[in-house]
A and B are shown apart, each in its own frame.
Chain A
């Protein structure tokens, strides 16, 4: 795992001003994108990212009647060489964040700075250069590989799209090396995806993501479709590759145990907002946001004796619709601490005042008016 300078990361509040490099020319932008970033420096900075999907009525003359607020103003940094885990329940917007960072969806508002360049405003050659450096691993290994292409074609496709990365003659060799790197037999190059099991397919997907030597890999639930015994293999492979290729991961998942295992820092999302963000120990051992606490306490732990000593918080009701989120704090409708103030005043993501000076692990960003430390993971 990347040894991060945790101190400096924790101390800096997330609102650091990012200098917008006003790239006069595409050349400058491309040059900036190709420049290396020091380990521990922010490589990706997300600021107030918003994505609203319009809800329309009518067939011919569409009229907007509302919007699904999938992502509603989130900010975070991804540091070079680290793994940032994003957890949350379905509908919290974590997958939309992945799509926005991959520029598969156009952001409604906000910025994503990659090495100082706002990639939401790039196009053409500069955008292509960014795409080369940010890759994605998908959730479902059964649908993310084109069934009519051979493994060699699938892993080699990045080279066809970015021919400057590898000259034509060397591609086959590169593909075979990639297969070897992800632990598959290089002789499988002419096989088709349906001849592989789920875990093997996910390795193929990872090999495709590695082909262009990217700096960032966005993993959207990369192991949730796999069997338990295969999950561990893939997780170990991903950790090994991170060390080998100096990758930064944005690891999106709903499985809190896996996120803790692989992440250096963790962000908890709820209804399009970041509820809490901090290092893995801060979030798991010293959570201050009630939602994080409830989420952690609900995780079934495969150890009945440890289970009995744990406090369980069972939330009532379901996640409200992102088309019509509650006013004020989004979590207040399910929160046991909710008071008048929560429905009127939206809590900001910041280190709670009472913990700022404390210097304890509770001093991390949490969007709650009544942030309070509570240990729900360890048996009392």
Chain B
């Protein structure tokens, strides 16, 4: 009886006259092709100096991490005690450290470890946060109570204590601690997801209340569809922003662990390792500390600025 496909608008009624002639006057911006919110955001971003500067810095850092030899021809592992603590010069732009290694070459090569650890640990914690936060926020009730208290407990662990315990459990068959990248990655991931999970939980909870989720529910949509088609895409923005910002924080956390000597160890080069090594002779010479520390700061700042710019662009209230 009721077949929507066969009917068309009966011409002549006062109502139907409305939409068609009005269509061109509708507040649709480009008549030709539609844009999604994401495309809008991208269009917005490329006009922002904050975004351009931060993404420019990040691009350079990433290229540096991928192809360090493009930037530094010197061998970072070649150390001659004879050059110990020489000041920056045309030959070695950042000078030499206490053991006579080229600080510039080491800083460039250190970017790979620092950025890899930063990106992977952030991705890992974001995935954990996304799943736990989404489940917790979507289901609520006892599932939420259990997950939320779990978050509280992990959050209660002092970062350094937790990291040292985790790093200490990474040992080879002889029982020696492995100062490798995997231990640090695990520690940073396990201890880094909580605030992201909390924000994911709260936005998921909020999004779940939306009319469009109710509408899908009343159509009989499955839980999976509600969660991944409706709630997730609309609850993701704060997580993306926070992840971008925490990428910077994680890079500096890696530096902290390596600096304390519990993280990445020689011969792997990272900025934290370099800062750690520079400390012994800090009264005599500052440059082996300043350059890697400066790179950490710039990287952290770039990611935080990027996070800021992305938040502004994705915030629907600003449009």
Task: Say yes or no: B15 contacts A236, CB within 8 Å.
Answer: yes
Tell which of A146, A147, A237 touches B316, judged by Cβ atoms closer than 8 Å: A147
Measured between beta carbons, the chain B residues less than 8 angstroms from A191 are 28, 34
Chain A 352-378, CB-CB to B under 8 Å as 1, else 0, gives 000000000000000000000000000
A364 CA to B7 CA in the complex, in Å? Answer: 38
Report whether over half of chain B's contact residues are helix, strand or loop; otherwise say mixed.
loop
A157 CA to B210 CA in the complex, in Å? Answer: 17
Task: Say yes or no: B26 contacts A200, CB within 8 Å.
Answer: yes
Q: How far in angstroms is the closest Cβ of chain A from B118?
A: 28
Decide yes or no: A237 and B15 within 8 Å by CB, A143-B210, A210-B4 being known contacts: yes
Near A by CB (< 8 A), chain B positions 1-35 give: 1-10, 13-16, 18-20, 23, 26-29, 34-35
Q: Is A183 an interface residue (CB 8 A)?
A: yes
Measured between beta carbons, the chain A residues less than 8 angstroms from B10 are 240
A140 CA to B211 CA in the complex, in Å? Answer: 8
Q: Is A185 an interface residue (CB 8 A)?
A: yes
Task: Say yes or no: A190 contacts B4, CB within 8 Å.
Answer: no
Task: Say yes or no: B225 contacts A161, CB within 8 Å.
Answer: yes
Task: Say yes or no: A127 contacts B5, CB within 8 Å.
Answer: no
Q: Is A273 an interface residue (CB 8 A)?
A: no
Task: Say yes or no: A208 contacts B215, CB within 8 Å.
Answer: yes
Using CB atoms, name the residue of chain A closest to B209: A143
Decide yes or no: A196 and B4 within 8 Å by CB, A144-B215, A148-B37, A236-B15 being known contacts: no
A145 CA to B216 CA in the complex, in Å? Answer: 10
Q: How far in angstroms is the closest Cβ of chain A from B213?
A: 8
Segment touching B, from A65-73, A170-178, A335-343 = A170-178
Decide yes or no: A185 and B4 within 8 Å by CB, A140-B211, A146-B212, A146-B230 being known contacts: no
Chain B 151-184, CB-CB to A under 8 Å as 1, else 0, gives 0000000000000000000000000000000000
Q: Is A194 an interface residue (CB 8 A)?
A: yes
Measured between beta carbons, the chain A residues less than 8 angstroms from B210 are 143, 146
Q: Is A184 an interface residue (CB 8 A)?
A: yes
Decide yes or no: A197 and B27 within 8 Å by CB, A161-B221, A183-B20, A191-B34 being known contacts: yes
Task: Say yes or no: B214 contacts A127, CB within 8 Å.
Answer: no
Chain A 121-147, CB-CB to B under 8 Å as 1, else 0, gives 000000110011001101110011111
A114 CA to B278 CA in the complex, in Å? Answer: 79
Measured between beta carbons, the chain B residues less than 8 angstroms from A146 are 210, 212, 216, 229-230, 233-234
Using CB atoms, name the residue of chain A closest to B24: A185
Q: How far in angstroms is the closest Cβ of chain A from B263?
A: 39
Measured between beta carbons, the chain A residues less than 8 angstroms from B7 are 177, 181, 244-245
Measured between beta carbons, the chain B residues less than 8 angstroms from A147 are 37, 212, 234, 316
A69 CA to B304 CA in the complex, in Å? Answer: 49
Q: Is B73 an interface residue (CB 8 A)?
A: no
Q: Is A213 an interface residue (CB 8 A)?
A: yes
Task: Say yes or no: A180 contacts B26, CB within 8 Å.
Answer: no
A213 CA to B27 CA in the complex, in Å? Answer: 30
Tell which of A177, A190, A210 touches B34, judged by Cβ atoms closer than 8 Å: A190
Central interface residue in B14, B221, B316, B319, by most chain A CB within 10 Å: B221
Measured between beta carbons, the chain B residues less than 8 angstroms from A145 are 212, 215
Tell which of A102, A184, A240 touches B19, judged by Cβ atoms closer than 8 Å: A184
Decide yes or no: A148 and B4 within 8 Å by CB, A184-B19, A196-B26, A233-B15 being known contacts: no
Using CB atoms, name the residue of chain B closest to A180: B8
Task: Say yes or no: A138 contacts B28, CB within 8 Å.
Answer: no
Q: Is A203 an interface residue (CB 8 A)?
A: yes
Chain B 216-259, CB-CB to A under 8 Å as 1, else 0, gives 11111110010001100110000000000000000000000000
Q: Is A317 an interface residue (CB 8 A)?
A: no
Task: Say yes or no: A148 contacts B5, CB within 8 Å.
Answer: no
Q: How far in angstroms is the closest Cβ of chain B from A231?
A: 12
Chain A 204-219, CB-CB to B under 8 Å as 1, else 0, gives 0100101111010000
A170 CA to B302 CA in the complex, in Å? Answer: 49
Decide yes or no: A181 and B9 within 8 Å by CB, A211-B4, A245-B4 being known contacts: yes
Q: How far in angstroms is the closest Cβ of chain A from B104?
A: 46
Decide yes or no: A185 and B19 within 8 Å by CB, A131-B220, A144-B215, A236-B14 being known contacts: yes
Chain A 94-111, CB-CB to B under 8 Å as 1, else 0, gives 000000001110000000
Measured between beta carbons, the chain A residues less than 8 angstroms from B26 are 195-197, 200
Using CB atoms, name the residue of chain B closest to A101: B218
Q: Is B36 an interface residue (CB 8 A)?
A: yes
Using CB atoms, name the residue of chain A closest to B215: A144
Decide yes or no: A246 and B219 within 8 Å by CB, A181-B8, A195-B28 being known contacts: no
A195 CA to B32 CA in the complex, in Å? Answer: 13
Task: Say yes or no: B27 contacts A195, CB within 8 Å.
Answer: yes
Measured between beta carbons, the chain A residues less than 8 angstroms from B225 are 160-161
Task: Say yes or no: A131 contacts B219, CB within 8 Å.
Answer: yes
Using CB atoms, name the residue of chain A closest to B3: A213
A145 CA to B37 CA in the complex, in Å? Answer: 14
Task: Say yes or no: A144 contacts B211, CB within 8 Å.
Answer: yes
Task: Say yes or no: A104 contacts B9, CB within 8 Å.
Answer: no
Q: Is A63 an interface residue (CB 8 A)?
A: no
A135 CA to B34 CA in the complex, in Å? Answer: 29
Tell which of B16, B37, B214, B218 touches A135, judged by Cβ atoms closer than 8 Å: B218
Q: How far in angstroms is the closest Cβ of chain B from A248?
A: 11
Task: Say yes or no: B37 contacts A174, CB within 8 Å.
Answer: no
Using CB atoms, name the residue of chain A closest to B36: A192
Using CB atoms, name the residue of chain B closest to A139: B211
Task: Say yes or no: A203 contacts B1, CB within 8 Å.
Answer: no
Q: Is A304 an interface residue (CB 8 A)?
A: no
Using CB atoms, name the residue of chain A closest to B222: A161
Using CB atoms, name the residue of chain A closest to B18: A233
Decide yes or no: A36 and B1 within 8 Å by CB, A146-B230, A183-B9, A196-B26 being known contacts: yes
A-B residue pairs, 3 tightest by C-beta: A236-B15, A144-B211, A183-B19
